[in-house]
Structure 1
Amino acid sequence: MQLTGRITADSLMTLEAYAKWRKLHQKEVIAHRKLRSVALGEHITVQFESELTMRYQVQEMLRIEKIFEEEGIQAEVDAYAALVPDGGNWKATMLIEYPDINERRRELARLIGVQDRMFVEVEGHARVYAIADEDLPRDNEEKTSAVHFLRFELGAALRAAVQAGASVKLGCDHTNYPAHVTLAPETLASLAGDLR
């Protein structure tokens, strides 16, 4: 899988080529995803995306759905390419996970707006709050969604601090879900690679 900095229909593998590549590299991609997955408390997981994770997602959707027509391929690219960081930000999928359906229903009602209270805090700098769900709203008056898409914009000083080795916290200051965690060094090293 060739990383080009931008996912386009022309940069994807054919279904046949991807099937061969997948046999050889699927474990590496899963390890990369796991490295960039951060548990925030017991019920929120933040999956920091990369070109590799999104390119893999597009290729997987094409494989599973057996999509080979141009319009279908472009629709998958359009759905996922926006989650590739652009060098000045981190992009992530946030999952709110409660196994029990009744507890999940209750907690999603209590967590309306949680996506807007997610932040990263680079050592020595002010918190940067997520810009959430730019494609469409995922809250209503009754509940929030179990899945949100986040973008953390990092200015030049923050990017330089991260690349120089500053620690970074991921957190949430929603009234009903206060939590934070310091990113593991290996996770932070992977995320630092997204920045220019």
Structure 2
Amino acid sequence: MNAIARDSLLSLEAYARQRSAFRSRVIAHKKERTLHLGEHITLIFEDELTIRYQIQEMLRVERTFEEAGIRDELDAYNPLVPDGSNWKATMMIEFSAEDQRRLWLARLIGIERRVWVRIGGGEPIFAIADEDLERDNGEKTSAVHFLRFELPPAQIRALHAGAALAIGVDHPALTAVAEPVPDAIRQSLCGDLRA
């Protein structure tokens, strides 16, 4: 997977004309890349399309058309595009009530490093979390984290050959697992990987 190039982005005017159709396409695409781990953890696996949409939306909202601003958005978001040997995901910790959210974010410190993927009967591969900056402060964790799962070539080959995929979280205050991961999500994630 390659980084999103500057010349592949739409101008603000062109994006405004295509936005509705593009947004619908991305929403449908994200359904096959969104995994709920229990009631309170959601992983959205990013790829070139989801990140392209995010960049175009940021440029639109901020009305950015100057090269320096466009380059800043590319520099900020391109690291979230998988490179063929990994998956990258946005993890959201979701509690609808503010008092519950505050309580759980304090309990869940370190959860971002306890999210794992397992291919076939292999060992869990734990996420590398928040490479851009720390998102907890010793008193609470953030409600949003950015995760990278670096997959060994043998595991990628096994996945392409049909090995089952499980994804879970193993934290003292919260555990959940999706096993097996639904096939539509598994197939979409396989598309991110080069064997």
Percentage of matched positions with identical amino acids = 55
Q: For residue 117 of structure 1, report the CA deviation from its aligned partner.
A: 0.4
Q: For 1:6, what is the secondary structure of its paired residue?
A: coil
Q: For residue 44 of structure 1, report the CA deviation from its aligned partner.
A: 0.5
Determine which of 44, 48, 70 is the counterpart of 1:47. 44
**Cα distance in structure 1, aligned partners of 2:61 and 2:175:** 38
Structure 2 residues without counterparts, runs of 5 or longer: none
Which amino acid in structure 2 is aligned with residue 191 of structure 1? L
Which amino acid in structure 2 is aligned with residue 195 of structure 1? L
Q: For residue 28 of structure 1, report the CA deviation from its aligned partner.
A: 1.4
**Cα distance in structure 1, aligned partners of 2:19 and 2:38:** 33
Q: For residue 140 of structure 1, report the CA deviation from its aligned partner.
A: 1.1
Q: Which position in structure 1 is the counterpart of 2:61? A: 64
Which amino acid in structure 1 is aligned with residue 192 of structure 2? D
Q: Give the 4+ runs in structure 1 shifted more than 6 A.
A: none
**Cα distance in structure 2, aligned partners of 1:142 and 1:12:** 40
Q: Deviations over 1:24-62 (max 9, x none)?
A: 332111110121010001001000000000011000111
Q: Which position in structure 2 is the counterpart of 1:91? A: 88
Determine which of 122, 126, 130 is the counterpart of 1:129. 126
Q: For residue 108 of structure 1, report the CA deviation from its aligned partner.
A: 0.2
Q: Which position in structure 1 is the counterpart of 2:2? A: 5
The 5 A counterparts of 1:89-128 are 89-128=86-125
Q: Deviations over 1:122-151 (max 9, x none)?
A: 112111000000000001110000000000
Q: For residue 5 of structure 1, report the CA deviation from its aligned partner.
A: 2.4
Alignment of 1:153 onto 2:150: yes
Task: Give the TM-score taking structure 2 as reference length.
Answer: 0.96
Q: Deviations over 1:68-110 (max 9, x none)?
A: 0111111111111100000000000000001100100000000
Structure 1 residues without counterparts, runs of 5 or longer: none
Q: Deviations over 1:154-191 (max 9, x none)?
A: 11111011111111111011010111112110111000
Determine which of 141, 165, 172 is the counterpart of 2:138. 141
Task: Give the TM-score taking structure 1 as reference length.
Answer: 0.95
Moved more, 80-89 or 67-76: 67-76
Q: Which position in structure 2 is the counterpart of 1:174? A: 171
Q: For residue 63 of structure 1, report the CA deviation from its aligned partner.
A: 1.1
**Cα distance in structure 2, aligned partners of 1:34 and 1:62:** 24
Q: Which position in structure 2 is the counterpart of 1:189? A: 187
**Cα distance in structure 2, aligned partners of 1:24 and 1:94:** 26
Q: Which position in structure 1 is the counterpart of 2:31? A: 34
